[in-house]
């Protein structure tokens, strides 16, 4: 059983666990209170018996449609959260979740033509939104393109039979799959591409390519759920800001406008980040020198603030910085 924390006050019981693919499982949870959330949002999960280890996972269920609150998790080698959730948690156990968070949701989208793009586990918020649209906005024209490495890795395989979807497999494409990756050719087959709002979720390189490609096709409304920050090349950043991380004995660079978290992640400097919205406190970092402003100090004590601690996701550097 996990521990409740100030960030994770919602107790939910594991009703059952379903294996989606060789390395992905869906945990169906019972919440005995009303748990408000929106299609596409995520929650922090308190991991194991630690009150400080939190991880963020998409709520792959859909409000008003799904019988349970669900988390769909890919097991990652060395991943404290995914290894525990997919290997040790069992039916009847209790998990503690935060309030639902995030702005990657379609329920406030007024346009009647949408394109949903997903790759790998990025399909979890996309399926949540697809169910919501089918239930509450059935007249909307929804196109879906879902990329996987092989046909055996389609998450929600049975459920996709209920919706129109173009399935794309990089390897061993079988009947019902397009062979390869998301391409300009596939996008050109989407009716009225330029007139659609696009929601995209997947690995950072996939989302970066998709964003550029659809904007070349005339799309002006593009939303993505970003979990990872692409690596920044030194050459591209030398005209930006300089960071010195004393504990890592490392100096690195980031472009002007980067958050402190983006600067750290894009240079492969180890840091734990869960909510990315200044709520959970996981990315607490001490700044020894440098100018910055912050948008959140949640979980920080006044003493920590006085000592230069910031939440990296909510810290906007205004010049070069020295970090503990």
Query: Domains along the chain?
Result: 10-97 (2.40.30.10), 113-225 (3.40.50.80), 234-323 (3.10.20.30)
Q: What is the pLDDT of residue 6?
A: 75
From residue 6, how far is each of 44, 96, 156 by CA, in Å?
Answer: 11, 10, 33
Gyration radius of the chain over CA positions: 21
Q: What is the pLDDT of residue 137?
A: 96
Question: Rounded to an integer, what distance in angstroms lies between the CA atom of residue 11 and that of residue 30?
Answer: 9
pLDDT of residue 234: 44
* Per-residue pLDDT at 7: 78
CB 258 within 8 A of CB 135: no
Distance CA 131, CA 120 (A): 18
Which pair of tokens denotes residue 168?
């794309």
How do the pLDDT tens digits run along the chain, 324 residues long?
566 777 789 999 999 999 999 999 999 999 989 999 999 999 989 888 666 677 889 999 999 999 999 999 999 888 888 999 999 999 999 999 989 988 899 999 888 999 999 999 999 999 999 999 999 999 999 999 999 999 999 999 999 999 999 999 999 999 999 999 999 999 999 999 999 999 999 988 899 899 999 999 999 999 998 654 444 444 444 456 888 888 888 888 887 778 999 888 878 788 888 888 888 888 999 999 999 999 999 889 999 999 999 999 999 998 889 999
Q: Is residue 178 within 8 Å of residue 169, measured between CB atoms?
A: yes
Q: pTM of this prediction?
A: 0.77
CA distance 254 to 261: 10
- H or E element in which residue 279 lies: none
Question: Residue 175 contacts by C-beta under 8 Å, 6 or more apart in sequence?
Answer: none
The Cα 219–Cα 115 span in angstroms is 10
Instruction: State how far the Cα of 217 lies from the Cα of 196, in Å rounded to an integer.
Output: 10
Measured on CA atoms in the order 299, 300, 302, 304, is the torsion positive or negative? positive
Dmax over CA atoms of the chain, in Å, equals: 62
156 secondary structure, DSSP code: T
Q: Which residues are CB-neighbours of 180 under 8 A, at least 6 positions away?
A: 168, 170, 173
Cα separation, 184 vs 202, whole angstroms: 17
DSSP string over 214-259 = HHHTT--EEEEE--SPPPPPHHHHTTSEEEEEGGGTEEEEE-TT--
């Amino acid at each position: 059983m996990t521990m409740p924390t100030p960030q994770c006050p919602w107790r939910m019981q594991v009703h059952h666990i379903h294996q989606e693919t060789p390395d992905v499982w869906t945990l169906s949870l019972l919440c005995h209170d009303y748990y408000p959330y929106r299609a596409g949002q995520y929650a922090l999960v308190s991991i194991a018996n630690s009150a400080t280890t939190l991880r963020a996972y998409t709520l792959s269920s859909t409000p008003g449609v799904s019988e349970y609150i669900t988390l769909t998790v890919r097991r990652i080698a060395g991943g404290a959260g995914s290894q525990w959730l997919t290997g040790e948690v069992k039916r009847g156990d209790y998990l503690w979740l935060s309030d639902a968070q995030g702005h990657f949701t379609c329920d406030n989208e007024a346009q009647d033509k949408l394109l949903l793009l997903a790759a790998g586990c990025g399909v979890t918020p996309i399926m949540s939104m697809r169910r919501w649209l089918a239930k509450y906005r059935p007249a909307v024209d929804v196109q879906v393109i879902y990329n996987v490495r092989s046909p055996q890795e389609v998450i929600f395989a049975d459920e996709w039979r209920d919706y129109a979807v173009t399935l794309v497999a990089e390897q061993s494409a079988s009947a019902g799959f397009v062979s390869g990756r998301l391409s300009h050719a596939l996008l050109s087959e989407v009716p009225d591409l330029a007139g659609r709002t696009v929601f995209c979720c997947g690995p950072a390189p996939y989302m970066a390519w998709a964003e550029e490609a659809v904007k070349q096709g005339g799309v002006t409304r593009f939303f993505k759920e970003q979990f990872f920050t692409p690596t920044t090349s030194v050459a591209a950043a030398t005209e930006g800001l300089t960071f010195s991380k004393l504990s890592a004995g490392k100096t690195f660079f980031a472009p002007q406008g980067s958050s402190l978290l983006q600067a750290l992640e894009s240079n492969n400097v180890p840091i734990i980040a869960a909510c990315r919205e200044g709520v959970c406190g996981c990315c607490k970092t001490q700044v020894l020198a440098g100018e910055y402003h912050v948008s959140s100090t949640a979980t920080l004590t006044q003493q920590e603030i006085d000592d230069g601690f910031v939440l990296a996701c909510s810290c906007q550097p205004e010049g070069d910085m020295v970090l503990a």
